[in-house]
Amino acid sequence: MHKRLVNQCTIDFSLIPCGPILIKSGREGADPTKPDMEFVETYHGGGRSVYLPGSSLKGAIRAHAERIVRTVGRDNRNSDNPNSLWANDPLNDNYDYLKNKSGYELYKLSSFTDQMFGNTSIASRIRIEDAYPVDSQSVKLEERNGVAIDRVFGSVAVGPFNYQVCTAGEFRTKLHLKNFSLAQLGLIGLVLRDLDEGWFGLGFAKSRGLGSVEVKLNQAVVQYPGCVVENQRIRSLGGGGEWQDNQLLGAGVFLAEAERERYGFPANDMQDTPVRAESMALGFGVQLKWRGKEQVQDLFMRAVRAWCQRVEADSSPYVA
């Protein structure tokens, strides 16, 4: 099923430091005038610039998504109910339950978060671009000093050392989610909400106050590449499905019943929205656009309804 593309959501958002943040470079230079720990840099906009790597953003988003799923679901697999809501520990999971399984079994048996972010057997369906400064002149870098305290003796164990932090600027990026259910989109909305509210941070020394950012939602686009808009309705080419042009559609509605059940996608996975569909470029494909913070939040609110239904449908809540 995942060899084709039935829907895709692209979320355009910016990250604005609420205080110092540091995504450390993996190497130390030989220049003695530079701090011991430098911010990662690359060439962008005609010169060297700090940036937030997509891999770092994805790791933080995945970790918090797993935290949310474990909170309302389970932290281990229920062998009696493969559809139960759970998130594993990727570092301590040997994935024995995925050995010698077919493609749809690999997806269905994987945890809710592995279905989105991937594991050793299935690919990720989430891609996050590097976040670059919108205006390099607005980026402010500072150098700070610190020491590591010995917990036993209370004296200096390591240091003093200095590190580079970013305290101002706007870093813009995009998150792409393909072949998604509305519950999965709702989970992404919750993660971005929690990042904005400071429930978790990015980069180095989060427990010491670094890493807090504001999330600015710029735009979201949901696309159905195999559909067209006709007479204010969305029509699936070849699939035979037809829906109102203000429908937010999950991947399950595009699949035949047998295929949907093999992968575990929900049926009737749709929500009404105030946004109307429009044709994509070249007149092939359909897209719905939510512009600005209020509209994107409205999109997430409708997707979170599906997430709540998914949580309530789990008939095997975890009991410690």
pLDDT of residue 29: 62
Are 65 and 191 within 8 A, CB to CB?
yes
pLDDT of residue 51: 96
- For residues 205 and 208, give the distance between their C-alpha atoms in angstroms, rounded to a whole number: 5
pLDDT of residue 78: 83
> Residue 212: how many CA atoms within 13 Å on its side-chain side?
9
Which positions of the chain have pLDDT values less than 70?
27-32, 315-320
Predicted confidence (pLDDT) per residue in 55-84, tens digit: 999 999 999 999 999 999 988 888 787 778
pLDDT of residue 200: 95
Give the full edge-to-edge strand order of the sheet including 242-244: 227-230, 233-236, 242-244
Pick from 224, 221, 229, 200: nearest CA to 212 = 200
Exposure string of 271-301, with b = 16+ CB inside 10 Å and e = fewer, is bebebebeebeeeebbbbbbeeeebbbbbbe
Are 180 and 254 within 8 A, CB to CB?
no
Quote the tokens at residue 263.
């992968």
pLDDT of residue 315: 57
